[in-house]
Amino acid sequence: MSVILNRTIQDIIFDGKTFSLTIAIKNSFIDSYDSFHFEIIQRNTENAYVIPYHFANSLDDYNLYQVDINPQELADFFSQGNTFDLGIVRIKGEEEVYSRVKSNYDNIEFLRYYLTDKLIFYPATTKMGNVSFYIKEDFLLAKIDELTISTDTNLTLQGLFLPPKEVEQSNIELQISSSNDESTRIPITHKYSSDELSNHIFQADLNLSEYMIKNHSDFLKFHLLLTTPNGQVIQSHRIKINHVKQNYPVRKVFIKGKEKYRVTVKPTQQSKYLSIGITEYKLLKELKQTYKEKWIHFRRSKELLKIFTYAFRVLGRIMPVNKKLVMFESFHGKQYSDNPRAIYEYMQKNNPEYKLVWSFDRRHFAGFQGRDIKMVRRFSIRWLLVMTRAKYWVTNARLPLWIPKPKHTIYLQTWHGTPLKRLAADMEEVHMPGTNTEKYKKNFINEASKWDYLISPNRYSSKIFRRAFQFQNEMLETGYPRNDFLYNKNTEEDVAKVKSRLGIATEKKVILYAPTWRDNQFYRKGKYKFHLELDLEKMRDAFGDSYVVVLRLHYLVSENLDISGLEGFVYDFSTHEDIRDLYVAADMLITDYSSVFFDYANLKRPMFFFVYDIEEYRDNLRGFYFDFEEKAPGPLTRTTDELIVEIQQAEAGEFTYNKDFYQRFCYLEDGNAAKRVVQNVFK
């Protein structure tokens, strides 16, 4: 590579036995640390192996180190899993900081070591741009290395392919699938390499005019097909493209008959699959698309962020303050919910002299639409003017660090839960994407220093918030405003109304399953995943006659669940505006380490804890503030079968609510927390 980047592989050589990686480390990255080393870590575990390294060379402000990975020598370690991440660990005293090693994207996935005849070990670039090693069954790999489109609509693809080891030289075709799921095959020219460690080469030519059809847009994706002498057809994964070798997207306009067509070639955003779009060329549409793309690029740029920050500072000084203007936001503008909603609704009813405005994320506008509330789109020009004039900000999550708080603004941070899991400065390690432990803690504490008031639901939380957030200003130990609803809207009539709105039969009892998210299970920054371990079919078999299950996943989890076949028993309300409705409707709660159980305890109903990964979560991810296994206000279960037994026992009348837990965490809740907050802040 011509450009050296910190923690990035500069070269990787495979001799058939050993992967030799040359990694660039910037001197300033390690200068302040006592020592460092490289580790391979089995993903989602603490299993790690320290990899020997040696100094290779110096170049400008970087040192180059060589790391050798021999799969045979590490066979016992690699036999424990199938995905392994490469990182660098910096050590200072007792502190250890782990950072991933990044890939140079240079077709490294073609380097294969055969653990067995069918099992391969190979490096690849992750969606986050890091390097990981994988163990999988041997497969057909194909990748486009170069691509050209001629003036006569001919597309030429040149690429590399690597068939499974035991597959003989075969007939090779390119399969093109269109947006209507029709597929065609075209022959390709190819050349097998005689060198066992070299890649095979192929070239395919395709006339795109066949897909230029009036009033029809098409989208093409590609696979390689091998047909062996005995007739077996082997299909590759969807073909990826070397997205760093030339600039993408490639756009060209062609004339076919009297019509113009636009061809767009680009890699998909995450997986870098080859994607070709073909649509009719409309001048107005093209201008709109060009403007939109430029605006999106500018909107996401550091330049706009700098402009917004500067504008915020200037307007915060010169704009006249509106002493009756209150800005509300919940979960980064994604919801009309939680403590901010409870405070808003109280003030709307009791303090009409205030102007109350909600900040919403444009992607979540549907959750705000149709309400009789004043609102403004987050990060818009109007939002900028309202935020800088507002006397009060009310939010339940951190605002972006770049937002400077004007001197006239009072910032009320409501937060969003009683802490079981370690928070902020109390966390030993941070596993979230896009940050590291040191950066996360520093940014969190900087943001918390802007808060004028912080709501606490109880004495226990106050003590933790003071330390974890390093909060120095006024703590409002009032109970949580969001829990007022549980006391004021919990009659049989209220429950029936909630069930009716949710579309749940009133005669059915409700089991609410509301697990937390796992910090280290993510696709990319801001996009978390969650694998549902609860066996819903077993739950249906046990309780389907009289119960329904309502699913509520954490707001950070964006993955859609597949509950097909369970309709009428399982309801997914992960995106429902406010969990308070689900609390009131639920006859019992299943959770794990989510703070929802502190709120649900106010209802004095059965709670069960499905903690299949408690050791991992307790010891490696977050850790707990108290002995959760001893003090949890309900039974802990590890399997669906155990959970079913506990629910059946509660059904048989063996449930009594935990008075000690209630008195420790819910003693302030009485339906008037919002009133107490407003009396303290809006004096």
8-state DSSP, 272: -
* DSSP bridge partners of 261: 254, 280
- Structure confidence by residue, pLDDT tens digits, 602-618: 999 999 999 887 776 66
How many residues are given for the chain? 683
Average pLDDT of span 568-589: 90
- Angle of the 640-651 helix axis to the 536-543 helix axis, nearest 10: 30
Q: What's residue 280's pLDDT? A: 87
Sign of torsion over alpha carbons 489, 494, 498, 504: positive
Average pLDDT of span 545-571: 75
Question: Distance between CA atoms of 334 and 382, rounded to whole angstroms?
Answer: 18
Question: Distance between CA atoms of 101 and 523, rounded to whole angstroms?
Answer: 17
Question: Distance between CA atoms of 190 and 163, rounded to whole angstroms?
Answer: 12
Which residue did the predictor score with more confidence, 619 or 507? 507
Contact by Cβ (8 Å): 526, 555: no
Structure-block tokens of residue 1: 């590579």
**Helix (H, G, I), strand (E, B), or coil: what is residue 561?**
coil
Average pLDDT of span 40-68: 90
Q: CA dist 21 to 67, 69, 641, Å?
A: 5, 8, 47
User: Phi-psi bin for 62: left (phi > 0), alpha (psi -120 to 50), beta?
Assistant: beta
**Helix (H, G, I), strand (E, B), or coil: what is residue 222?**
strand
Question: Distance between CA atoms of 454 and 413, rounded to whole angstroms?
Answer: 5
Q: What is the DSSP string of 440-478?
A: HHHHHHHHHTT-SEEEESSHHHHHHHHHHTT--SEEEES
**Helix (H, G, I), strand (E, B), or coil: what is residue 578?**
coil
Question: Distance between CA atoms of 216 and 454, rounded to whole angstroms?
Answer: 56
User: Is the pLDDT at 528 greater than 60, yes or no?
Assistant: no
| pLDDT class of 22 with cuts at 50, 70, 90 | very high
CATH ID of 485-665, from 3.40.640.10, 3.30.460.10, 3.40.50.12580, 3.90.1150.10: 3.40.50.12580
Average pLDDT of span 124-152: 90
Q: What proportion of the chain, given as a percentage, has pLDDT over 90?
A: 57
Structure-block tokens of residue 654: 């063996």
| pLDDT class of 623 with cuts at 50, 70, 90 | low
Q: Residue 497, Cα to own-chain centre: how many angstroms?
A: 34
pTM as predicted: 0.61
Q: What's residue 87's pLDDT? A: 92
- Structure confidence by residue, pLDDT tens digits, 354-409: 999 999 998 889 889 889 899 999 999 999 999 999 999 999 999 988 899 999 99
**Helix, strand, coil % in the chain, rounded to nearest 5:** 25, 35, 40
- Structure confidence by residue, pLDDT tens digits, 493-516: 999 999 999 999 999 999 999 987
Fold of 303-483: Rossmann fold (3.40.50)
Q: What proportion of the chain, given as a percentage, has pLDDT over 70?
A: 93
Q: What's residue 590's pLDDT? A: 95
Lowest mean pLDDT among 278-292, 566-580, 636-650, 663-677: 278-292
User: Is the pLDDT at 654 greater than 80, yes or no?
Assistant: no
Contacts 24+ apart (CB under 8 A), 2-9: 4/59, 4/60, 4/62, 5/102, 6/62, 7/88, 7/99, 7/100, 7/101, 7/102, 8/101, 8/102, 8/103, 8/104, 9/101, 9/102, 9/103, 9/104, 9/108, 9/131
User: Is the pLDDT at 410 greater than 90, yes or no?
Assistant: yes
Q: What's residue 214's pLDDT? A: 83
Outline which parts of the chain fall under CATH 3.40.50.12580: 485-665
Outline which parts of the chain fall under CATH 2.60.40.10: 8-137
Which residue did the predictor score with more confidence, 554 or 120? 120
Q: What's residue 521's pLDDT? A: 39
Outline which parts of the chain fall under CATH 3.40.50.11820: 303-483
Q: What's residue 257's pLDDT? A: 86
User: Is the pLDDT at 520 greater than 50, yes or no?
Assistant: no
**Which residues, 6+ apart, have CB-to-CB distance to 241 below 8 Å?**
143, 144, 147, 248, 267, 272, 273, 274
Q: Residue 319, Cα to own-chain centre: how many angstroms?
A: 37
Contact by Cβ (8 Å): 274, 240: yes
CATH architecture of 141-299: Sandwich (2.60)
Average pLDDT of span 552-572: 69
User: Is the pLDDT at 600 greater than 70, yes or no?
Assistant: yes
User: Is the pLDDT at 281 greater than 90, yes or no?
Assistant: no
Domain 8-137 - what CATH class? Answer: mainly beta
Q: CA dist 119 to 122, 188, 396, 435, Å?
A: 10, 28, 49, 34
Question: Distance between CA atoms of 136 and 119, rounded to whole angstroms?
Answer: 6
| pLDDT class of 540 with cuts at 50, 70, 90 | very high
Q: What's residue 439's pLDDT? A: 79
Q: Residue 443, Cα to own-chain centre: how many angstroms?
A: 19
